[in-house]
Structure 1
Amino acid sequence: MFFKLIFKNVRRSIKDYVVYFLTLALAVSLFYAFNSISSQPGLSRLSSTMKQMTDTMNQYIGILSKFIAVILAFVVVYANQFIMKRRKKELGMYMTLGMDKWRISSIFVGEIVLVGLFSLIVGLGIGILLSQGLSLLTLKVFATDVSSFSLVLSVTAVKETIVNFAIIFGVVMIVNTHSIFKVKLIDLLTASRKNQELRAHNKGISFLLFATSALCIILGIYILLSTGLSKETLPKVMVLIGVGILLFYYTASSVMISFVQKNKRIYFHGLNAFLFRQIGSKLQTNYLVITVISGLLLCSLVVLSSGFSIIGKMNNLMNKSIPYDVTIVLPGIKDKVTPLEKSQKDGVHLQENLKDYSESVFYVSDYTYGDIFAGQVVKLANVDKDLPKSTVPFMSETDFNKQMVLQNEKPISLSKNQYLINATYKNTLSYVDHFLKQHKKIKVAGQELTLQRSEPLNKTIIAFVPIGANDKGTIIVPDEIASKLIPDAYLLNGLYKVNTNKDLLYRQMNKAWSDSIVNKSIIYMTKDVQQDSYFGIFGVVAFICSYIGLVLIIICLAVLALQQLTETQDNKERYHTLSNMGADGKMICNTLFLQIGFYFIVPLIMAMVLSMFITRAVLNEVESFFQMSIGLNMGVSFAIIIVLYIVYFIATYESAKQIIIEQTIK
């Protein structure tokens, strides 16, 4: 009878468990999908550097999964409290009939375990499908041959998911049992009679606080866009935006009702008077909850959009910004030994493995970056504070064209008295561009040169970190002028043959030149090593951001849905009164639909608008660190959150409608 009662209760109350089931199933699917990444066989073919990156990512995801499981446990507890509140009379009836609290607790625990097991099975099924797409994306992100992808079921991820699932239900069972043992019978039997009143606020103060909220948010965004995520201003920005959101929701009900009441045709149309009072009551009572939800939604959109923006940039940047398989620089020319000659001398089999290469020379004169920056207000990062005193590198037209031919780029052509500037470094690019816009002449080797074009070239000469953005400004001059300058460094860029053993060749370089790197007598880098380390970091950050963002969105939507269902349960007597006054079922359902829709949409709009500014500020910091331009990609994250919103909204509306239909709509 005990198990029959559990099955019967679950079947009878299935609509009460919709949000509960949905949250658990989505959480389980995400747990499995992200924890199964390491089981993809294609990842075993990664290089040692990239393998280390994926291992780090999996460790972080594993730790985050435990932390998120605890957070989700409290969300599930919140859902369970709604279900208990919904069935207080039933619980009171059990107690009236003499059932002890241990047996009552066992029934409720049995119900949530039964629903939980079903959500675990469904969630694992969704997670297995989701993990295949996620594994394919992982192979693309970490620059591995996608043909190595294969369908796989991760037993380890299944075990990890079950462990996280057990953590959630361990917390739920403890809290659920505690709640039942402390409840009083009289509270259970009279729970539906308790109600809530809408407090009146001073209109003048409400409008003043509402205007203050808008001012705080605008000022916070302005400071953020002006100063970025600096340590000095970030706390001020967080306080301003946080206070702005809090004041907005605190005063929104009074402001909204004041405006609507002035338009009698709208206010007294249908059930609008009831609708706006209900919305106002919810905003006034739950402004702290809505503020927290808006903050969490904002955080989830920022991390999710940042992750997708970074992923979108990675593959394009990888192919575009590393045009060479190997780059070697010999600074400070002394014995006139070229990179190829040095490799042969030191036992590095480089030339035999190159299908094409180009060797060039950098020259210097007394011309400095300070000469380029002259007359400008220059603000450089601390790492570049001595740059104005540094000499500008020069390269001959022929040597520059060698690098362009190696990249299949169009070569340049200079007259004997012309020059060009190549620049890709973000922190100096604007100053170089301003210099060129002035069409300034320069004097090199006793000869005056005029500018050929007023925009800097944007070509990769040296493929070192920061990839594609490391040229602070290189002046390209005719060969005749370059021959009169002082040679400063040799440069070699090369492309490997198809059958080259890249790992062996790089080990030879490390063995021969590791000591030379310390004293900076040689600098060398390969495309594979840069991809592995540079893009490996990006991959780890992007996947962790996506994981956290998705889980935060599910938590927010679960809390929103449960908040609405709880409010509907508390106010079902009001809907019953509307029915007695002559309102038909369609009018009541439309009112309920608009009420829940408003409660869902308001925090979403706030989070979406603010996330665009904050995500841009975050990406600016990433761009500054990695010296690259990352486009803002909000479309994917917005699409994901809208789809999840629709699913949760439909589930919430249908469950809320069921609560009202029970005794109100005939």
Structure 2
Amino acid sequence: MSNRFYLKMAADNIRKNGKVYLPFLISCICSVMVSYIMLALSMSRGLGQIPGGNNMQLILTLGNVVISIFFAIFLFYTNSFLMKRRKKEFGVYNILGMDKKHIQKLIMYETMYIASISIVVGLLTGIILNKVCVLVIRRMMDATVSLGFELSPASMIGSSLLFATFFLLLLGYNTYQVHLANPIELLRGGNVGEKEPKTKWIMAVLGSGFLGAGYYLALTIQSPMTGMPLVFLAVLLVIAGTYLLFTAGSIVALKLLRKNSTYYYQIKHFIPVSGMIYRMKKNAVGLANICVMSVGVILLLSIAVSLYVTSDESIHAQYPSNVIAEIKLSGDIPEAEKQVKSELQQAAERTAAETQVEIDSISSYTSLSFPAVLVQGGFDVPEDIYSNQTTKISSLYFIDQNNYNSLFGGNVSLNANEVYLHGTGKEYEGTSLSLMGEQYQATVMKDMKGFVTGQSTVSTIVDIYYIIVNDVEMLQKIEQQQRAIIGKSAGAIHVSARIDLDKETGNEQERNFGNILSGKLEAAGIDVSVVDTRVSAGEKFRALRSGVLFVGMNLGILLLMATVLIIYYKQISEAYDDKDRYSIMRKVGLSLKEIKGVIRSQILTVFFLPLIATGVHAAFTFPLMKKLMVVVMLDSTQWFLYCMAASYTVFAIVYVLIYMVTARAYYKIVS
């Protein structure tokens, strides 16, 4: 047979099976489009020149790797549904005289058609929409709009090669499946039933245990950054528990329903329950996939939307002044403090003269911070405080009374063994304080204005305690005590400076002021930890927000698309499996109304289980995700709660619409 015959036959097959091929083709086109846009943005020279653009492009590059892995899993998963529907057709071809090599050649041409259309249309759509995405990102980063059209040949080649590889792997897998099967297996490939699965109580209990352990970690992990291994463990436990519970727990639940004679022996319950028991092993994996991806959709959309609605107030909360500087002190702390503050004042004045900027005010204070564990009657600093991830850590911030009074206008007067405390999140209780073996008389203050500025989001992750001590010598004594315990990882005494510039100062002037000031301090031999400006921090934050928003929205939409397709293919596949069964039921006396009731009961019994499980997962992961949002400087975590609730509501509405469409398609097929 000539190649023209195969080409024509392959095109006819795709057209005739449009009901199952069209959603797959649209998904492939969208995947190629997104891949091109992500690659083009990560390589764009124009975006790289925007302040903070390099950070955003790094996020896009990492996001593209994650999305590529998702593409591979998604294409192979949906391909399994397509092959199941086509096996009977291939079996007929084989019986009518077409050899397996001819069937494999036919599959090759069908794959070639799908791949060519997907890559060409996907790239064209991506090229058109790429400019829109560039404009959106520039707008989000407050950058000027660039004119002209930017084409990225490297991104076109990269996306084409990536998806050509995916389709070659799919072709190899499909042809291998045909090679292994005999004609009878191909004919029965779409109608192979399942044996009644055994009741696996151990797997059900194990799944419950995994899920409970994952929930416990999600609720108790203090910092998602320092406890990243535990975060991954929690995710793996929740995913494993979900699959085990859907696989084994659903069978246990169905068999318990079957034992309930009042429920089971009704037409609308008897048929769907008995049928699902036999197919649940295969069915449960699909339901678990839907649940896991639904959680991903809700979390990603919540992150993206909450970052979008967050204004630059987060920057002002973290950077109350135009310029922030931290300088490390060592040696004789009282003498070093005087020298550093004097050098800082002079360097700031010289920098202002060079950059033609007026300084409104300069304030500085000396402080010490390090982690500790809250114990009965005080705080302890264990040697393994950084390595022990199960210990709930608090952060202690110390300042002496002279610095506090001069900086914040206080009238604190303390004796040598007396301290004032203020806690955020959890207030300290008691009138005495034990700290590394030393006893102090403690007075709890309800407020420490000024000193706690910029720490509002950090207190979401850890409990912070602000402590005022007698003098700088006491700060040095406490610093030496904790250094003797922790060693090189110990906290150091710093001079923190806040410089407010004139309101007329431009962004470029403020940025130059920070860079020049940092250079002058380092030239003076001062140990500078950080010199940063509000403008630079805002650019980094907007770049981070833009990158995370773009990747999150793309991943969320792709996961939503995958979820819809999996539900669609699952329902259509089961409808074709059930068509002959319901035909027999009609012949033995069931009316169309009764059959419709049976179908509704069957779909509702399993269809909304993933939605319910998704809501439970989202609720238990919220505390951990809220802490993660603090890391990306979401100042008001309340926004994340609202966005998650809104995302779940919208997803539930979409889910119900999917149910209505697939239920109608299911009924049309079986009736």
The one-letter code sitting in structure 2 at the alignment partner of 1:630 is T
1:333 partner SS: helix
1:148 partner SS: coil
Compute the displacement of 1:174 (Å): 2.0
Question: What is the TM-score with the length of structure 2 in the denominator?
Answer: 0.72
Q: Structure 1 CA distance, aligned partners of 2:149 and 2:604? A: 40
Q: Does the CA-based 8 Å contact 2:363-2:407 persist in structure 1?
A: yes
Which residue is 2:98 aligned to?
A: 99
The one-letter code sitting in structure 2 at the alignment partner of 1:7 is A
Which residue is 1:251 aligned to?
A: 249
Q: Does the CA-based 8 Å contact 2:20-2:82 persist in structure 1?
A: no
Q: Does the CA-based 8 Å contact 1:307-1:541 persist in structure 2?
A: yes
1:606 to 609, 613, 632: 613
1:178 correspondence with 2:141: no
Compute the displacement of 1:614 (Å): 2.2
Which residue is 1:406 aligned to?
A: none
Compute the displacement of 1:29 (Å): 4.1
Q: How does 1:169-248 map to 2 (within 5 A)?
A: 169-191=167-189, 194-199=192-197, 201=199, 213-214=207-208, 217-218=211-212, 220-228=214-222, 230=227, 237=234, 241=238, 244-248=241-245
1:473 to 450, 459, 466: 466
Q: Structure 1 CA distance, aligned partners of 2:662 and 2:397? A: 65
1:434 partner SS: coil
Residue deviations 1:199-221 (CA, integer Å, cap 9, x gap) = 464xxx85x97577556534542
Q: Structure 2 CA distance, aligned partners of 1:467 and 1:495? A: 28
Of 490-499 and 467-476, deviating more is 467-476
Which residue is 2:137 aligned to?
A: 138
Which residue is 1:495 aligned to?
A: 501
The structure-2 alpha-carbon separation of the partners of 1:112 and 1:319, relative to structure 1 and needing over 3 Å to count, comes to farther
Structure 2: unaligned runs, 5 residues or longer: 330-336, 434-440, 471-493
Q: Does the CA-based 8 Å contact 1:19-1:651 persist in structure 2?
A: no
Q: Name the count of aligned residue pairs.
A: 609
The one-letter code sitting in structure 1 at the alignment partner of 2:278 is S
2:360 partner SS: strand
Of 282-291 and 609-618, deviating more is 282-291
Q: Does the CA-based 8 Å contact 2:57-2:547 persist in structure 1?
A: no
Compute the displacement of 1:68 (Å): 3.5
Question: What is the TM-score with the length of structure 1 in the denominator?
Answer: 0.72
Q: How does 1:163-562 map to 2 (within 5 A)?
A: 163-191=161-189, 194-199=192-197, 201=199, 213-214=207-208, 217-218=211-212, 220-228=214-222, 230=227, 237=234, 241=238, 244-249=241-246, 250-259=248-257, 262=260, 264=262, 267-291=264-288, 293-299=290-296, 301-302=298-299, 305-306=302-303, 308-309=305-306, 312-313=309-310, 315-328=312-325, 332-334=337-339, 337=342, 339-345=344-350, 349=353, 352-354=356-358, 356-362=359-365, 375-376=377-378, 382=386, 390-392=398-400, 394-395=402-403, 399-400=407-408, 429-430=424-425, 433-434=427-428, 454-457=446-449, 473=466, 491-495=497-501, 497-499=504-506, 501-516=509-524, 519-520=526-527, 524-533=531-540, 536-537=543-544, 540=547, 543-562=550-569
Which residue is 1:408 aligned to?
A: none
Residue deviations 1:551-590 (CA, integer Å, cap 9, x gap) = 4454455444434433333333212212222334455455
Which residue is 2:491 aligned to?
A: none
The structure-2 alpha-carbon separation of the partners of 1:71 and 1:149, relative to structure 1 and needing over 3 Å to count, comes to farther
Which residue is 2:490 aligned to?
A: none
Of 266-275 and 237-246, deviating more is 237-246
Q: Structure 2 CA distance, aligned partners of 1:527 and 1:105? A: 62
Compute the displacement of 1:84 (Å): 1.6
The one-letter code sitting in structure 2 at the alignment partner of 1:53 is N
1:172 partner SS: helix
Q: Does the CA-based 8 Å contact 1:257-1:280 persist in structure 2?
A: yes
The one-letter code sitting in structure 2 at the alignment partner of 1:28 is V
2:353 partner SS: coil
1:46 partner SS: coil
Compute the displacement of 1:316 (Å): 3.9
The structure-2 alpha-carbon separation of the partners of 1:533 and 1:649, relative to structure 1 and needing over 3 Å to count, comes to same
Q: Does the CA-based 8 Å contact 2:210-2:240 persist in structure 1?
A: yes
Residue deviations 1:80-111 (CA, integer Å, cap 9, x gap) = 313323xx1x3233333333434333333433
Compute the displacement of 1:469 (Å): 11
Q: Does the CA-based 8 Å contact 1:37-1:138 persist in structure 2?
A: no
Q: Does the CA-based 8 Å contact 2:394-2:465 persist in structure 1?
A: no
Compute the displacement of 1:57 (Å): 2.3
Q: Structure 1 CA distance, aligned partners of 2:161 and 2:59? A: 19
Of 335-344 and 70-79, deviating more is 335-344
Q: Does the CA-based 8 Å contact 1:422-1:457 persist in structure 2?
A: no
Q: Structure 2 CA distance, aligned partners of 1:111 and 1:215? A: 46
Residue deviations 1:109-133 (CA, integer Å, cap 9, x gap) = 4334445555556656775787677
Q: Does the CA-based 8 Å contact 1:301-1:608 persist in structure 2?
A: no
Compute the displacement of 1:26 (Å): 3.8
The structure-2 alpha-carbon separation of the partners of 1:584 and 1:434, relative to structure 1 and needing over 3 Å to count, comes to same
Q: Does the CA-based 8 Å contact 1:363-1:394 persist in structure 2?
A: no
The structure-2 alpha-carbon separation of the partners of 1:102 and 1:571, relative to structure 1 and needing over 3 Å to count, comes to same
Q: Does the CA-based 8 Å contact 2:421-2:428 persist in structure 1?
A: no
Which residue is 1:31 aligned to?
A: 35
1:98 partner SS: coil
Which residue is 2:648 aligned to?
A: 638
1:195 partner SS: coil
Q: Structure 1 CA distance, aligned partners of 2:456 and 2:606? A: 51
The one-letter code sitting in structure 2 at the alignment partner of 1:248 is L
The structure-2 alpha-carbon separation of the partners of 1:199 and 1:182, relative to structure 1 and needing over 3 Å to count, comes to closer
1:607 partner SS: helix
Q: Structure 2 CA distance, aligned partners of 1:449 and 1:607? A: 47
The structure-2 alpha-carbon separation of the partners of 1:654 and 1:199, relative to structure 1 and needing over 3 Å to count, comes to same
Q: Does the CA-based 8 Å contact 2:67-2:555 persist in structure 1?
A: no
The structure-2 alpha-carbon separation of the partners of 1:625 and 1:373, relative to structure 1 and needing over 3 Å to count, comes to farther
Compute the displacement of 1:358 (Å): 0.9
The structure-2 alpha-carbon separation of the partners of 1:387 and 1:124, relative to structure 1 and needing over 3 Å to count, comes to closer
Q: Structure 2 CA distance, aligned partners of 1:390 and 1:377? A: 13
Q: Structure 2 CA distance, aligned partners of 1:132 and 1:159? A: 18
Identity %: 15
Compute the displacement of 1:294 (Å): 3.6
Residue deviations 1:350-400 (CA, integer Å, cap 9, x gap) = 67313x5212353789xx999x99944678964999986954365567754
The structure-2 alpha-carbon separation of the partners of 1:151 and 1:392, relative to structure 1 and needing over 3 Å to count, comes to farther
CA RMSD after TM alignment = 5.1
Q: Structure 2 CA distance, aligned partners of 1:268 and 1:364? A: 74
Compute the displacement of 1:333 (Å): 1.4
The structure-2 alpha-carbon separation of the partners of 1:584 and 1:24, relative to structure 1 and needing over 3 Å to count, comes to farther
2:194 partner SS: coil
The one-letter code sitting in structure 1 at the alignment partner of 2:59 is M
1:30 partner SS: helix
Which residue is 1:111 aligned to?
A: 110
Q: Does the CA-based 8 Å contact 1:275-1:595 persist in structure 2?
A: yes
Which residue is 1:46 aligned to?
A: 50
2:14 to 6, 10, 13: 10
Residue deviations 1:407-462 (CA, integer Å, cap 9, x gap) = xxxxxx98999xx9997xxxx5346x436x9899xxxxxxx9999x7344367767
The one-letter code sitting in structure 1 at the alignment partner of 2:578 is N
